[in-house]
Amino acid sequence: MRFVYRSLSLFGAAATAMLIAMQSPVAAQNPEGRSLTLRQALQRAFANNPRLTVADREIGIATGRRIQAGAIPNPELSFELDNAFGTNEYRGTNLAETTLQLSQLFELGGKRAARVAAGEAEVDSAYWQRQAIKLELASETATAFVTILSAQRRIQIYDAAIASLDKLAPLLQRRVDAGASSPAEVARAQVAVDLLKVERERAKTALSIAKRELAVLMGDRAPTFVSAVGHFGSVGYPPPFKSVLAAIDGNPQLMRWTAIRAQREAELLTARLKPVPDLRLAGGWRHYRETGDNAMRLTVSVPLPVWDQNRGDILAAEESLQKVQADRQVNLATLISIAGRSYDAINGAIAELSILRNSVLPNSKKAVDGIEGGYSQGRFSLIEVLDAQSSATQAAIREQEALLSFHIAVTTIEGLVGRPFMLNVTRQR
């Protein structure tokens, strides 16, 4: 049977319906909100988690900087009053010269274009950062959801074990009354039941913690749901690891480095262009009050880049550009390491589940059924019954732990590749 883990990919509207193998085939929403599916959890996380709001604001900030980078310098209007308010004949304004001037700076060498390119690259970087955050949020939400399913399953295991031992209580009491068993065995059986109840309470605490963590991811202060619903028992075989590695290149974290490199290149160009002199043109009108004459005034000014060649900023920009590739390699190595650990965890969990489901679980069930039946006939002792029950419970717990490891590893890889993880899936009997 072929089963597709619906994508953690964030490209397209369908991605918000990311469903891993635990997802119920019919995800009917409880009108009272008592149960929660993974689809609903993801939709709420994408709509309410403040990390995405922060990422959106970062895009807005970068967009504002890009717009400002393309702004043309404002012209300057100046007024000058010469030969006034002095002594003797220059007292007052009888001999004053007044000048009204308008000047404009003209940037040369493509400085504004370089700034705009850097701004556009910053917007692209912020966009990919948001995509990476959304992918991480999807993976974290799916992991929290799986953890809830796992905790619910663990509680069910302990409930079943407690119920099984409780069924033996009347039989045990009859054996004690008949003198076939010691009264101490009643206390021993009660200890076994109480220990299971202790483990169940611990599992309930873990469930409460997991539900609260998922609620926070969905933007809630406290859980507003009672339980999570899905097929926790589904597992499958992953594709070759090389296909996972190939898909990692599309991770938004790595795509972001392309935008960062473009930004650094534009910043380097900006640093190199800074010493290029800009031209300032000014034109004005001058009035000579003494004679009543008027005249035009024209000014052209160009700074001389004699002392400051901006060498320090150029060197820093060059180093920043070279650092981008190294940073990307570090990022890629980290992602590959995470993917490798998760891939090995998948295969390890599959191997564990194969042994547990093909041998340990069925044999432990046979042992429990046989020993409990023999106990009623006096052929087995209480210790043997408790030992068989304990082995069966531990086997079920090991299966639950292996399933949790499997599903968390799958959600982790999907969070890295950013699209559905194709699995040949087998379902729990």
Angle made by CA atoms 116, 117, 120, in degrees to the nearest 5: 85
Q: Confirm whether 293 is domain-assigned.
A: no
| C-beta of residue 238 within 8 angstroms of C-beta of residue 426 | no
Q: Confirm whether 89 is domain-assigned.
A: no
Q: Any idea what the CATH number is for the domain that residue 230 is in?
A: 1.20.1600.10
DSSP code, position 80? E
Q: pLDDT band for position 292 (50/70/90)?
A: confident
What integer is the mean pLDDT of 296-305? 90
What's the domain count of the chain? 1
Residue 30 has pLDDT above 90, yes or no: no
Q: Confirm whether 124 is domain-assigned.
A: yes
H and E: helices and strands count for the chain: 9, 9
Is 92 or 357 the better-scoring residue by pLDDT?
Answer: 357
Task: List, in order, residues 6 or more apart from 120 with CB less than 8 Å away.
Answer: 66, 262
- What tens digit of pLDDT does each residue of 329-347 get? 999 999 999 999 999 999 9
Q: Confirm whether 85 is domain-assigned.
A: no
Q: Confirm whether 387 is domain-assigned.
A: yes
Q: Confirm whether 58 is domain-assigned.
A: yes
Residue 31 has pLDDT above 50, yes or no: no
Closest CA to 297 of 286, 281, 288, 312: 286
- What tens digit of pLDDT does each residue of 3-22 get? 333 333 322 222 333 333 33
Q: Confirm whether 288 is domain-assigned.
A: no
Lowest-pLDDT range of 148-162, 167-181, 402-416: 167-181
Q: Is 58 helix (H, G, I), strand (E, B) or coil?
A: helix
Percent of the chain clearing pLDDT 90 (strictly above): 56
Phi, psi of 81 (to 5 degrees): -130, 110
What are 426's strand-pairing partners? 235
Dihedral (Cα; 324, 326, 329, 330), 10-degree rounding = -100
Dihedral (Cα; 271, 274, 276, 279), 10-degree rounding = 150
Residue 157 has pLDDT above 90, yes or no: yes
Lowest-pLDDT range of 16-20, 235-239, 251-255: 16-20
**Which residue range(s) make up the domain with 135?**
2-73+111-276+311-426
What integer is the mean pLDDT of 269-292? 89
Q: Is 18 helix (H, G, I), strand (E, B) or coil?
A: coil
Residue 389 has pLDDT above 70, yes or no: yes
Instruction: Please report the pLDDT score of residue 378 as a whole number.
Output: 67
Q: Confirm whether 237 is domain-assigned.
A: yes
